[in-house]
Chain A
Amino acid sequence: MTDHDKNTYQALFDHNPDALIACPACDTLHKAVPVRAGHIARCTRCHFKLMDPKPDTLTRTVALSITASILMVTMLCFPFLTISQAGLTGEVSMLEIIFDLSHGWYNILAVMVAAFVLALPIVRMIALIYVMWPLHQGRPPPPAAQQIFLFAEKLNPWAMTEIFIVGTVVALIKMMGLATIGFGTAFWLFCGLVVVVALKNAAVCRWTVWSLIRKSPS
């Protein structure tokens, strides 16, 4: 680190503080040079992804979030799996699985499944639509856009749709000896949902959204 570097950064900061970016992972300062869509700017020190603009990030995220929420709601209305054993056949939807689980202390498990697999992913989708739809329409950011987008980003590690589908496959293999399991409509919808959610998360460019909802320096 030299005084020359310090002076350069100070001059840039005095001119426009948004011309600089401090790596959120390691605090190293960088000049925020605009990056072309499809390219990735990484921190020179820790390789954290600083900017990865995606083409049409607003349109894509809004479209995929709407698709995902429709899939999620539809999925709840159809049977998830069918079970036949000893001549008895039954169908269960996701909601039935959760309600069947909620007795006594099993409630904790029921709440975890309901929250991590259904509630938090859908809250994240709605939050993304709320923030990004007006921006996509060229309108000013909606009230509390910063707080809501921040919340949506913090929810990300807790939305576990893709983990649940792996759990379902493992559970099916475990059950094979005990009963005959068939896939219900909701299972296939859920597989589609996992793909759409993955595409949606890949379409979000935080940098684009942050720069659209930023307040000017006070």
Chain B
Amino acid sequence: MTRAIDMGWIGCHTCGTVHEGDQTHCRTCSATLHSRLPNSLQQTWAWLITGALFLIPANMLPLLSNLVLGHNEGHTIAEGIAIFFQTGDYFVAIVILIASLLIPFSKIFVIGILLLSIQFRWQLDNKTRLLLYEFVEFIGRWSMIDVFVVALLAGLVKLGAVISILPGTGAICFALSVIFTMIAALRIDSKLIWDAPAKDTVE
């Protein structure tokens, strides 16, 4: 196993083209070249902490408020899931439970683990690294489901006299949290994850 960095070369982060160490832009895809993304850890931590902070009001404040005949009833993400379980809409309850609670929290947790594993050069086995990284790369965006649900409900129900549904502040905080953690995931330089020697390979 030889890495580009061992040869003094730079491998493009987007397309994999191999360059001499003195090049600044990729000749294939024009991306800026870095052997390792500068300040990748600091940037990821910053976006991740911002995302985690926004997740707090996102879960405390109402996601939606239903104005039924002038009576205002708002509910948070967790209350919304509970309502669906009570009314027997198990499909929706499970979709929202996964997309709005499990994915956002586990994603922040997994990015945190990845960052710590880079910082302290934990020797994880290759399978774990791959799983963790793919999880944050591909799963995070699905959390936007709930934001779209809120937007649709609010946009649809405009028969104002009887019912109207208004987005709550929680929805904005939730959307921002999803966006910030998506940016955090994109700022991780996965090459750093693989720089520490693996537990399961003998070199």
Contacts and interface: CB of A to CB of B under 8 A. Distances in A.
A90 B126 contact: no
Interface in A39-70: 44-47, 50
The DSSP consensus for interface residues of chain A is helix
Contacts of B15: 24, 206-207, 210
A35 interface: no
Nearest to A51: B16
B31 to A, nearest CB: 6
Contacts of B26: 146
B186 interface: yes
Contact of B159 (A112, A113, A179, A211): A179
A33 interface: no
Nearest to A165: B148
A135 B140 CA distance: 34
A83 B14 CA distance: 46
A88 B13 CA distance: 55
Contact of A109 (B12, B13, B171, B191): B171
Give the interface residue-count category, chain A: 35 or more
B153 A171 contact: yes
Give the interface residue-count category, chain B: 35 or more
A186 interface: no
A47 B130 contact: yes
Contacts of A157: 141, 182, 186
A191 interface: no
Nearest to B171: A109
B102 interface: no
Nearest to A168: B152
Interface string B107-147: 00000000000000000001001100100000001101111
Contacts of A85: 159, 162-163
Given A24-B12, A170-B96, A175 B151 contact: no
Interface string A153-181: 10001101001101110110111011100
Interface of A: 1, 5-6, 9-10, 13, 17-18, 20-29, 44-47, 50, 81, 83, 85-86, 88, 90, 92, 96-98, 100-101, 105-106, 108-110, 112-113, 116-117, 146-147, 149-150, 153, 157-158, 160, 163-164, 166-168, 170-171, 173-175, 177-179, 206-207, 210-211, 213-218
**7 interchain residue pairs of minimum CB distance:** A22-B11, A167-B148, A97-B155, A26-B194, A146-B30, A22-B4, A171-B152
12 contacts: A1-B6, A6-B6, A23-B16, A24-B11, A25-B133, A26-B3, A46-B130, A101-B151, A101-B155, A153-B14, A170-B92, A175-B156
Interface of B: 1-7, 9-20, 26-31, 87, 89, 91-92, 95-96, 126, 129-130, 133, 141-142, 144-159, 162-163, 166-167, 171-172, 175, 182, 186, 190-191, 193-195, 203
